[in-house]
Amino acid sequence: MVPQTRRQNRMSKVLRWNMSKAYRVVFECPKSRHNINLQRKCANASLSETEAMQMFGDEEISCTNPNCGWHGKASATKLLRILPFNWILSAAT
Ligand SMILES: [Zn+2]
């Protein structure tokens, strides 16, 4: 296991990386107000809250807090923040 992991790490350094526009959307867990992050590639130059809810509303999401355990549709939560970022993609398959 260990030698294989080391080899994969070395290989990842010579891969070419492609960047893709993406958004991280932060929802509020309706049970205990935890933050739930969702990331999605999206070519839009900007993303409004309405557009984000259209994109993510039907997604089944789970609260990341193990003591909470809430899960349900994103549309049941409150949208807190939309953060654009560059998603780095490996060119290799
Ligand atoms: Zn929660």
Question: Does the residue 42 lie in any domain?
Answer: yes
CA dihedral angle for residue 54, residue 55, residue 59, residue 65, rounded to 10 degrees: -100
Number of domains in the chain: 1
Structural domain contains residue 46 = yes
**For residue 77, which of 66, 61, 64 has the smallest C-alpha distance?**
61
Spacing, Cα 42 to ligand 1 middle (Å)? 26
pTM of whole model > 0.75?
no
Does a structural domain hold residue 64?
A: yes
Q: What are 8-64's pLDDT values in tens digits?
A: 555 555 556 678 899 999 999 999 999 999 999 998 889 999 999 999 999 999 999
Q: Tell me the residue range of the domain where 54 lies.
A: 23-88
- Establish if 7 belongs to a structural domain: no
Tell whether 48 is covered by a domain. Answer: yes
The answer to whether position 18 is within a domain reads: no
pLDDT at 29: 97
Do the domain assignments include residue 13? no
Single-letter residue type at 54 = Q
- Residue found by looking up tokens 């994103």 in the block: 74
- List 37's β-bridge partners, or say none: 26
How many C-beta atoms surround the C-beta of residue 29 within 10 A?
22
Residue 17, in any domain of the structure: no
Please tell me the distance between residue 64's alpha carbon and the centre of ligand 1 in angstroms.
7
Whole-number Å distance, alpha carbon 78 to ligand 1 midpoint, is 12
